[in-house]
Amino acid sequence: MKRKIVLYNPKAVFYTMPLGLMAVASCLDRERYEIRIIDGRLEDDPVARVLEELDGALCLGVSVLTGAPIGDALRVMRAAKSRYPELTTVCGGWHPSLFPTDMLEEPSIDITVRGQGEATFTDLVSHLDRGESLESICGIAYREAGDARSNPERPMMPMEVFPPVDYGLIPVEQYFQLKGVRQLDYISSTGCLFRCAFCADPFVYKRGWQAIGPARAADEIEELWQRYQFEDLNFQDETFFTYKKRVAEIAEQILSRKLSFSWAATMRADQGVRLGEDIFSLCKRSGLRRVLIGVESGSPNVLRHIKKDTTVEQIVTSAEMCARHGVAVIFSFIVGIPGETYDDVMQTVSLIKKLRAMSPRFETSIFYYKPYPGSTLSAELTDDMPKSLGEWAEFDYVQGAAGRWVSPQTYDFMERFKFYNRYAWGTERIVKRPIQMLARWRCRHNWFSWPVEKAILQRLRPEPELS
């Protein structure tokens, strides 16, 4: 008889498909295991839904991002353990990769998996199934005689050895409906070669990067396109544009196979420059609709400090290329990095204005720096970070306020700038044009006193302050 494996994706913002769980599940032998993926975002009562599936299950696997998803994961795992005390619970994903042994202080978590999960979970499931000791399984931590034991690292494996991700494990149409567009999430590479000091990736993947080849990616994408008729493909890779030859081959394959959809991916500014006009144009012809560029700062000093390894010139050049080829961009910025001066912030503000003025298709998102675990920058801020799993669950990474190191002057300025920056550029409906002109004038002159139109707009239609 097949053993059941239940996998849970905690509630989170947006409806991105649970690619992590799909990836680990796709490696399991279907002759032996029956797999259920339950997504908290799709359920009215996720706890009841998980409990319903758990009877006779071999294990419950949960994917855990840092922040609010931890709270939902804990609710589900505690309920599962309380109903089925013998059940093995396994946590994988970003938070367990950063805190593999700390997480085991929570009694409802039995095992944590670090980093790339495909081979580790396959190995773990067969050991659990056979009732064997876990001591030889690389990449996990677990409790042994009450103590946390951490096994050696598992080296990252080439993605080519894993089978294609099985989208039949999730209700794809339901995600399309919730997203409001037939957009498929897809991943063609894992990890990242760079070393940004605010990011957890260098810690989790040790600056390793693995990908599937362009021909295989194209085969998979074509099969998925025929099956689901999606209109947009969202590459969830950390840095899709890592090797320009690979990117060019994927774009060529999309064109030669006459696959008709738009696509979006994440790009670094230096990669945009290296891509060159020809490959940029090829990408555009193959459907490239939008890129997300993590700019972070307009100050060369801050870019150096955070080891971004990109320059302001590269940011502007890649933006010019995107504008020339009609590719939309979300430029994401971080303000409030410890050590940043008011002058650095003003350089960021100038760059934001410059980029926004370049194309109505350019958007900017501005976040206050939050010390994310696992990054070298956050190592200096341990006092400002949560200590327990419960505190991590309450740490708001999406909307939380600025850190204590951000001066009231900078905070006040940025809040006003963020508001007007949203209206100042881009295409606004005719009724809002006068406000747009005024907002643009204010941004150009950094003059945000007497914000009467802000009060009017907020009264008309209160909007979230995040840009």
194 binds, among ligand B12, ligand SF4, none (CB under 5 to 8 A by kind): ligand SF4
Q: Does 367 bind ligand SF4 (CB under 6 A)?
A: no
Which residues ranging from 30 to 69 are in contact with ligand SF4 (CB under 6 A)? none
Q: CA 378, CA 348: separation in Å to the nearest integer?
A: 21
Q: Does 94 bind ligand B12 (CB under 6 A)?
A: yes
C-beta of 374: minimal distance to ligand SF4 in Å? 10
Q: Does 392 bind ligand SF4 (CB under 6 A)?
A: no
Contact (Cβ atoms closer than 8 angstroms) between residue 457 and residue 428: no
Please identify, using beta-carbon distances, which residue of 164 and 338 lies nearer to ligand SF4.
Answer: 338
271 binds, among ligand SF4, ligand B12, none (CB under 5 to 8 A by kind): none
Q: What are phi and psi of 423, to 5 degrees?
A: -95, -20
Map residues 309-328 to x or -, x wherever contact with ligand B12 holds by CB under 6 A. --------------------
Sorted by sequence, the CB contacts under 8 Å of residue 323 that are 6+ apart come out as 358, 359, 361, 362
Q: Does 294 bind ligand SF4 (CB under 6 A)?
A: yes
Which residues ranging from 228 to 267 are in contact with ligand SF4 (CB under 6 A)? 238-239
176 binds, among ligand B12, ligand SF4, none (CB under 5 to 8 A by kind): none
DSSP letter assigned to residue 51: H
Please identify, using beta-carbon distances, which residue of 39 and 201 lies nearer to ligand SF4.
Answer: 201
C-beta of 106: minimal distance to ligand B12 in Å? 15
13 binds, among ligand SF4, ligand B12, none (CB under 5 to 8 A by kind): ligand B12
Q: CA 445, CA 442: separation in Å to the nearest integer?
A: 5
Q: Does 167 bind ligand SF4 (CB under 6 A)?
A: no
Q: Does 68 bind ligand B12 (CB under 6 A)?
A: yes
Q: CA 303, CA 297: separation in Å to the nearest integer?
A: 6
Please identify, using beta-carbon distances, which residue of 209 and 316 lies nearer to ligand B12.
Answer: 209
Give the one residue of 187, 316, 352, 355 binding ligand B12; rule: CB under 6 A: 187
Q: Is 431 exposed, middle or buried (0-12, 13-18, 19+ CB in 10 A)?
A: exposed
Contact (Cβ atoms closer than 8 angstroms) between residue 169 and residue 145: no
Contact (Cβ atoms closer than 8 angstroms) between residue 362 and residue 355: yes
Q: Does 50 bind ligand B12 (CB under 6 A)?
A: no
**Residue (of 179, 202, 195, 147) closest to 17 by Cα position:** 179
Dihedral of alpha carbons 335, 340, 346, 351, sign: negative
With contacts defined by CB under 6 A, name the span among 21-29, 150-158, 304-312, 450-458 that binds ligand B12.
21-29
Please identify, using beta-carbon distances, which residue of 16 and 446 lies nearer to ligand SF4.
Answer: 16
Q: CA 160, CA 278: separation in Å to the nearest integer?
A: 28
Contact (Cβ atoms closer than 8 angstroms) between residue 362 and residue 329: yes
Q: Does 464 bind ligand B12 (CB under 6 A)?
A: no
* Cα–Cα separations (whole angstroms), residue 143 to 115, 122, 148, 157, 244: 19, 19, 4, 26, 44
Size of the site for ligand B12 (CB under 6 A): 41
Q: Does 110 bind ligand B12 (CB under 6 A)?
A: no
Please identify, using beta-carbon distances, which residue of 187 and 457 lies nearer to ligand B12.
Answer: 187
Give the one residue of 16, 126, 151, 210 binding ligand B12; rule: CB under 6 A: 16
Sorted by sequence, the CB contacts under 8 Å of residue 26 that are 6+ apart come out as 118, 162, 163, 164, 165, 166, 169
**Which positions touch ligand SF4 (CB under 6 A)?**
192, 194, 196, 199, 201-202, 238-239, 268, 294
